[in-house]
A = this chain, B = another copy of it.
Amino acid sequence: MINIAVLGYGVVGSGVVEVIGRNHEEVMKKAGDEVRVKYILDLRDFPGDPYEDRVIHDFDTILNDPEISIVCEVMGGIGAAYQFTRQLLEAGKSVCTSNKELVAKHGAEFLELAVARHCNYMFEASVGGGIPIIRSVNTALTAEKIEAVTAILNGTTNYILTKMGSEGTEYDEALKQAQELGYAERNPEADVEGHDACRKLAILSSLITGRNVDAGEIYTEGITGITGADFEYARLEGMVIKQLAIGKMQEDGSVLAMVAPFMLSAGYPLAAVNDVFNAVLVTGNMLGDVIFYGRGAGKLPTASAVVADVIDCAKHQGRNVICIWDREAAKVAEVADTKRRFFLRAKAGARRAVEETFAGGKSVVLQDGGEAFGFFTAQMREKEFNEKCALLGDAVLSRIRLL
């Protein structure tokens, strides 16, 4: 019998209990032993809940119970969750979490502690919901030098951009629809400004470099400035617009890490990833491209990933599973130094100035483009692009990178 505790009986926490209950037999077979939820820690009581009798309010009961060897931290936040996780790992208890904020911030620290205490810190559910991307990078694509991850990691922004692209909806309206469907929060900032994707990318980038990539060092740009017109210009050129998270090893050993909207060819594998779906394209030096695709969020998919971690911990009791993410900081490349093509939308009157400034690029005019036109530059350094845009002043209405 493997006794576990669940910290937080919210959406994911109740999902974890449900997955273990409904798939009891599968979980037992894969773990090699019965898995039982002994405690559920929450501030609230849950009268009438079938697991009512497991609910406790005192963390120390869990910490001090020698029967508990695996704990699911699905409470979120970085205050109590941090303290609890540290204490549990120090006590040699494995922790499985869906808390991407905490993993991004303290992953390296917790992994180091888990090694020292012969237990595990696992976080499959922190990136891509139920898509097994963390375990694939850690334990499946192990013979690879991973050169890049290119990913759609936020379902909310992907839904909004899909709506804008397919129905010509403007941003505000698409956001409203996403909120009505429960895909976006009332305060959507964490999603639409890219912070959520940034944390997930910090985790993935740390795993591919083996060193710590601080979320604060990741260039992050949201989707609030994207307009319906941008999609029309993209379509004319056979492209779509997606919010991408990119982690890419550079020749000098640094990692380029950025979250931003990109125009990409409609034939590119991620271009067809629509609605709330997530996808991670991993490029390995032997393997080429492999794509992992699925629902990146949701109670049961996320809980399923947490329970998969529980099973992995159960199979490795007393032994640490290798996960290379050192505390030493990775060298993060300057986005300004990277080279690519750019799209810009500018006032119609500035067409000649734009064409002169970005010689070698290409203007595109929409039939009902009004007082604006679109322009695709040749390949250039981002720094140079920004400098040239600055020369054009307020004639430039928007800019989007090309992949």
Contacts and interface: CB of A to CB of B under 8 A. Distances in A.
A26 B324 CA distance: 10
Interface string A282-300: 0011111111111100101
A142 B292 contact: no
Given A27-B143, A142-B312, A322-B315, A291 B291 contact: yes
Nearest to A294: B290
A130 B286 contact: yes
A291 B288 contact: no
Contacts of A165: none
Size bracket, chain A contacts: 35 or more
Interface string A267-308: 001001000000000001111111111110010110111011
B290 A26 contact: no
Contacts of A140: 124, 132, 135-136, 140, 308
Interface in A28-58: 29-32
A238 to B, nearest CB: 15
B290 A131 contact: yes
Copies in the complex: 2
Most chain B beta-carbon contacts within 10 A, residue among A130, A210, A284, A287: A287
Given A30-B324, A311-B142, A322-B30, A295 B304 contact: no
Nearest to A133: B140
A141 interface: yes
A180 interface: no
A294 B144 CA distance: 14
A71 interface: no
Given A140-B136, A284-B304, A290 B145 contact: no
Interface of A: 19-20, 22-23, 26-27, 29-32, 124, 130-132, 135-136, 139-145, 210, 269, 272, 284-295, 298, 300-301, 303-305, 307-308, 310-312, 315, 321-322, 324
28 contacts: A19-B286, A23-B143, A23-B145, A26-B143, A29-B210, A29-B324, A124-B140, A130-B288, A130-B290, A131-B290, A132-B290, A141-B304, A142-B307, A142-B311, A143-B307, A143-B311, A286-B303, A286-B304, A287-B294, A287-B300, A288-B295, A288-B301, A290-B292, A291-B291, A291-B292, A291-B293, A293-B293, A315-B322
Given A27-B142, A287-B295, A288-B294, 5 more contacts: A30-B143, A142-B312, A269-B293, A289-B295, A292-B292
